[in-house]
Structure 1
Amino acid sequence: MTTTTTVRVALRVKKPLESNEQVISFVKDEEKAQIYLADNKLFTFDFVYPPYSTQQHVYESSILPLLDTFIEG
Protein backbone atom coordinates (compact mmCIF):
# COMPACT_ATOMS: atom_id res chain seq x y z
CA MET A 1 0.00 0.00 0.00
CA THR A 2 1.40 3.39 -1.00
CA THR A 3 0.65 6.47 1.01
CA THR A 4 1.30 9.92 -0.39
CA THR A 5 2.33 12.70 1.95
CA THR A 6 3.57 16.20 1.40
CA VAL A 7 6.53 17.96 2.90
CA ARG A 8 5.51 19.97 5.95
CA VAL A 9 7.35 23.14 6.88
CA ALA A 10 7.61 24.65 10.35
CA LEU A 11 9.03 28.02 11.36
CA ARG A 12 10.13 28.94 14.85
CA VAL A 13 10.68 32.67 15.15
CA LYS A 14 13.89 33.63 16.90
CA LYS A 15 13.85 36.19 19.72
CA PRO A 16 15.16 39.61 18.67
CA LEU A 17 18.80 40.16 19.59
CA GLU A 18 19.18 43.79 20.60
CA SER A 19 16.79 45.79 18.47
CA ASN A 20 13.26 46.30 19.74
CA GLU A 21 12.08 46.70 16.18
CA GLN A 22 9.56 44.07 15.24
CA VAL A 23 10.29 42.69 11.79
CA ILE A 24 7.76 39.86 11.81
CA SER A 25 4.05 39.95 12.49
CA PHE A 26 1.91 36.86 12.83
CA VAL A 27 -1.36 36.32 11.03
CA LYS A 28 -3.68 34.26 13.17
CA ASP A 29 -5.98 32.07 11.13
CA GLU A 30 -7.35 28.67 12.05
CA GLU A 31 -6.38 27.20 8.69
CA LYS A 32 -3.12 28.99 7.92
CA ALA A 33 0.11 29.66 9.76
CA GLN A 34 1.39 32.85 8.19
CA ILE A 35 3.86 35.61 8.90
CA TYR A 36 4.44 39.04 7.40
CA LEU A 37 7.96 40.37 7.19
CA ALA A 38 8.70 44.07 7.63
CA ASP A 39 8.78 44.54 3.84
CA ASN A 40 5.16 43.27 3.57
CA LYS A 41 6.07 39.84 2.23
CA LEU A 42 3.68 37.10 3.29
CA PHE A 43 4.84 33.53 3.92
CA THR A 44 2.68 30.52 4.75
CA PHE A 45 3.88 27.48 6.69
CA ASP A 46 2.33 24.36 8.15
CA PHE A 47 3.39 25.50 11.62
CA VAL A 48 4.57 28.87 12.93
CA TYR A 49 5.89 29.04 16.47
CA PRO A 50 6.42 32.31 18.33
CA PRO A 51 9.71 33.04 20.12
CA TYR A 52 8.39 31.91 23.50
CA SER A 53 7.56 28.39 22.24
CA THR A 54 9.40 25.65 24.07
CA GLN A 55 11.39 22.90 22.38
CA GLN A 56 8.96 20.41 23.89
CA HIS A 57 5.94 22.17 22.37
CA VAL A 58 7.55 22.31 18.92
CA TYR A 59 8.52 18.65 19.11
CA GLU A 60 5.15 17.42 20.38
CA SER A 61 3.07 19.37 17.88
CA SER A 62 5.09 18.99 14.68
CA ILE A 63 7.60 16.13 15.02
CA LEU A 64 6.01 13.51 17.26
CA PRO A 65 2.99 12.86 14.97
CA LEU A 66 5.39 12.21 12.08
CA LEU A 67 7.42 9.76 14.15
CA ASP A 68 4.30 7.85 15.16
CA THR A 69 3.31 7.48 11.50
CA PHE A 70 6.85 6.49 10.53
CA ILE A 71 7.06 3.80 13.20
CA GLU A 72 3.65 2.37 12.25
CA GLY A 73 4.96 1.98 8.70
Structure 2
Amino acid sequence: MTSLIQIGNSQGIRIPKHLITQANLENKELELVVVEEGLLLKPKKNVRSGWADFTCKGIQSGLDNQEIMCDFESSDIENEWEW
Protein backbone atom coordinates (compact mmCIF):
# COMPACT_ATOMS: atom_id res chain seq x y z
CA MET A 1 0.00 0.00 0.00
CA THR A 2 1.25 3.49 -0.81
CA SER A 3 -0.13 7.00 -0.59
CA LEU A 4 0.40 10.31 -2.39
CA ILE A 5 3.35 12.42 -1.24
CA GLN A 6 4.24 16.03 -1.99
CA ILE A 7 7.00 16.42 -4.63
CA GLY A 8 7.54 20.13 -5.27
CA ASN A 9 4.29 21.55 -6.62
CA SER A 10 3.09 18.08 -7.65
CA GLN A 11 2.22 14.86 -5.93
CA GLY A 12 3.59 11.40 -6.54
CA ILE A 13 3.94 7.91 -5.17
CA ARG A 14 6.83 5.65 -4.24
CA ILE A 15 6.58 2.26 -5.90
CA PRO A 16 8.32 -0.64 -4.15
CA LYS A 17 11.16 -2.11 -6.22
CA HIS A 18 9.69 -5.61 -6.23
CA LEU A 19 6.52 -4.27 -7.91
CA ILE A 20 8.54 -2.36 -10.52
CA THR A 21 10.51 -5.52 -11.29
CA GLN A 22 7.40 -7.71 -11.35
CA ALA A 23 5.63 -5.29 -13.74
CA ASN A 24 8.74 -5.02 -15.95
CA LEU A 25 8.86 -1.22 -15.60
CA GLU A 26 12.55 -0.76 -14.77
CA ASN A 27 14.30 1.88 -16.91
CA LYS A 28 11.23 2.36 -19.11
CA GLU A 29 9.45 5.51 -20.16
CA LEU A 30 5.97 5.27 -18.67
CA GLU A 31 2.49 6.18 -19.84
CA LEU A 32 -0.29 7.14 -17.42
CA VAL A 33 -3.86 6.32 -18.44
CA VAL A 34 -6.97 7.34 -16.52
CA VAL A 35 -9.31 4.36 -16.20
CA GLU A 36 -12.65 3.91 -14.45
CA GLU A 37 -10.97 2.37 -11.38
CA GLY A 38 -8.22 5.01 -11.13
CA LEU A 39 -4.86 5.34 -12.87
CA LEU A 40 -3.03 2.75 -14.99
CA LEU A 41 0.76 2.90 -15.19
CA LYS A 42 2.30 1.07 -18.17
CA PRO A 43 5.43 1.13 -20.31
CA LYS A 44 5.17 3.54 -23.22
CA LYS A 45 4.83 1.61 -26.46
CA ASN A 46 7.12 2.63 -29.27
CA VAL A 47 4.81 2.79 -32.28
CA ARG A 48 7.61 1.88 -34.67
CA SER A 49 9.02 -1.03 -32.69
CA GLY A 50 9.44 -4.08 -34.87
CA TRP A 51 9.38 -2.19 -38.17
CA ALA A 52 12.98 -3.06 -39.06
CA ASP A 53 12.46 -6.78 -38.42
CA PHE A 54 9.19 -6.79 -40.34
CA THR A 55 10.78 -5.04 -43.32
CA CYS A 56 13.72 -7.47 -43.43
CA LYS A 57 11.40 -10.48 -43.22
CA GLY A 58 9.22 -9.03 -45.99
CA ILE A 59 12.19 -8.51 -48.27
CA GLN A 60 13.53 -11.99 -47.55
CA SER A 61 10.15 -13.54 -48.34
CA GLY A 62 10.00 -11.76 -51.69
CA LEU A 63 7.40 -9.08 -50.93
CA ASP A 64 7.70 -5.92 -52.99
CA ASN A 65 7.85 -2.43 -51.46
CA GLN A 66 4.12 -1.81 -51.99
CA GLU A 67 3.17 -4.94 -50.02
CA ILE A 68 5.55 -4.06 -47.19
CA MET A 69 4.39 -0.43 -46.94
CA CYS A 70 0.71 -1.46 -46.93
CA ASP A 71 1.05 -2.81 -43.38
CA PHE A 72 2.82 0.34 -42.17
CA GLU A 73 0.03 2.57 -43.46
CA SER A 74 -2.47 0.79 -41.22
CA SER A 75 -0.38 1.27 -38.07
CA ASP A 76 -1.25 3.89 -35.48
CA ILE A 77 1.46 6.48 -36.17
CA GLU A 78 -0.82 9.50 -35.70
CA ASN A 79 -0.77 8.97 -31.91
CA GLU A 80 3.04 9.06 -31.92
CA TRP A 81 3.31 12.69 -33.04
CA GLU A 82 3.30 15.44 -30.44
CA TRP A 83 2.77 19.01 -31.67
Q: TM-score, normalised by structure 2?
A: 0.28
Of structures 1 and 2, the one with the larger relative CO (CA 8 A, separation 6+) is 1
Which structure has the highest helix share of the two? 2
Bigger Cα Rg: 2
